[in-house]
Amino acid sequence: MSHVTTHILDAALGMPAAGVTVALCDPTGEVVATGITNADGRIPELGDDRLAAGDYRLEFDTRAYFARTGRESFYPRVTVDFIVGDAEHYHVPLLLSPFAYSTYRGS
């Protein structure tokens, strides 16, 4: 079984994005866990260690984050679809700015 972690770096400010709500959705689209990034922009454990293999989605509420920081943004939400397989840990970071984002499989 597996678990997921994430962190967000606000590339425009060069600092972690604290206070961003993130939802983890299972293959049916059901929300299985939610979290809010800490002062370091991280959610150290999203859900538990019992994620079965399959397709999952992280939904980052970027609209609320950018509104709170007083900036306009093109993306009200960022969704990242990924596959959980045999690994125990999946780290899905997000590099964010008001008009662009990037992600990768972290370690």
CA distance 86 to 88: 7
pTM above 0.95, yes or no: no
For 18-63, what is each residue's pLDDT tens digit? Answer: 999 999 998 888 999 999 999 999 999 887 777 888 999 999 999 9
Give how far Cα 30 sits from Cα of 22, 55, 77, 92, 106, Å.
13, 12, 17, 19, 24
For 72-84, what is each residue's pLDDT tens digit? Answer: 999 999 999 999 9
- Write out the two tokens for 12: 């425009």
Question: Percentage of the chain with pLDDT > 70?
Answer: 98
